[in-house]
């Protein structure tokens, strides 16, 4: 597989990782607990997006942003994000409000530069 790398933290009960893989991106799954070392070993330095599906690991977002400030941090869970992690999270999505396929498509489009607002060349 080629294209952007996505890190998915947690048990991913809604299957976001599978949806992303179906769209052709590389997905690395991280089991909990997550540490700075496990994030780096999983390829954090080359990843475009880190997705948290288990709010008990919310500190992983802060660690990921500290080590790779440009990474896009996303949560996909029906549980509330702790305030300390909300400050460094770029996008929090409730699976009851946005279907997993839509989230996957939008994240891939954004990571590949094909999302809303992407420039297009015309002849």
pLDDT digits (tens, 9 = 90+) for 9-30: 999 999 999 999 999 999 999 9
Identify the residue whose tokens are 């540490």: 35
The answer as to whether 122 is a domain residue is no
Residue 120 lies in a domain: no
Average confidence (pLDDT) over 54-71: 95
Q: What is the pLDDT, as a whole number, of residue 114?
A: 79
In the block, tokens 């919310």 appear at 58
* Tally of domains within the chain: 1
Q: Is-contact 49 6, C-beta < 8 A?
A: yes
- So what's the pLDDT on residue 115? 61
98 located within any domain? yes
Instruction: From 54, 46, 45, select the one nearest 75 (Cα to Cα).
Output: 54
Q: What is the mean pLDDT of residues 32-59?
A: 95
Note the helical H segments in the chain. Answer: 16-22, 36-41, 59-67, 83-86, 100-111
pLDDT of 2: 60
Residue 123 lies in a domain: no
Q: What is the CATH number of the domain that holds 40?
A: 3.40.50.2300
Q: Using the predicted structure, report yes or no on whether residue 58 has a pLDDT greater than 50.
A: yes
DSSP assignment letter at 82: P
Residue 26 carries which DSSP code?
E
Q: Inform me whether the pLDDT recorded for 1 exceeds 90.
A: no
- Give the domain extent around 55: 5-111
Quick check: is 10 in a domain?
yes
The percent helix, strand, coil of the chain (3-state, each to 5) is 35, 20, 45
| 2 exposure class (CB count in 10 Å sphere: 0-12, 13-18, 19+) | exposed
79 falls within a domain: yes
Asked whether residue 14 is assigned to any structural domain, the reply reads yes
pLDDT, tens digit, for every residue of 80-117? Answer: 999 989 999 999 999 999 999 999 999 999 998 876 54
């Amino acid at each position: 597989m080629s294209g952007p790398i996505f890190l998915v933290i947690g048990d991913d009960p809604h299957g976001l990782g599978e949806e992303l893989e179906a769209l052709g991106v590389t997905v690395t799954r991280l089991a909990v607990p997550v540490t700075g070392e496990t994030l780096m070993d999983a390829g954090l330095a080359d990843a475009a997006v880190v997705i948290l599906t288990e709010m008990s690991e919310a500190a992983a977002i802060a660690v990921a942003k500290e080590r790779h400030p440009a990474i896009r941090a996303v949560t996909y869970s029906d549980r509330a994000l702790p305030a300390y992690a909300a400050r460094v999270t770029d996008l929090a999505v409730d699976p009851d409000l946005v279907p997993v396929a839509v989230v996957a498509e939008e994240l891939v489009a954004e990571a590949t530069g094909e999302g809303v607002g992407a420039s297009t060349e015309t002849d």
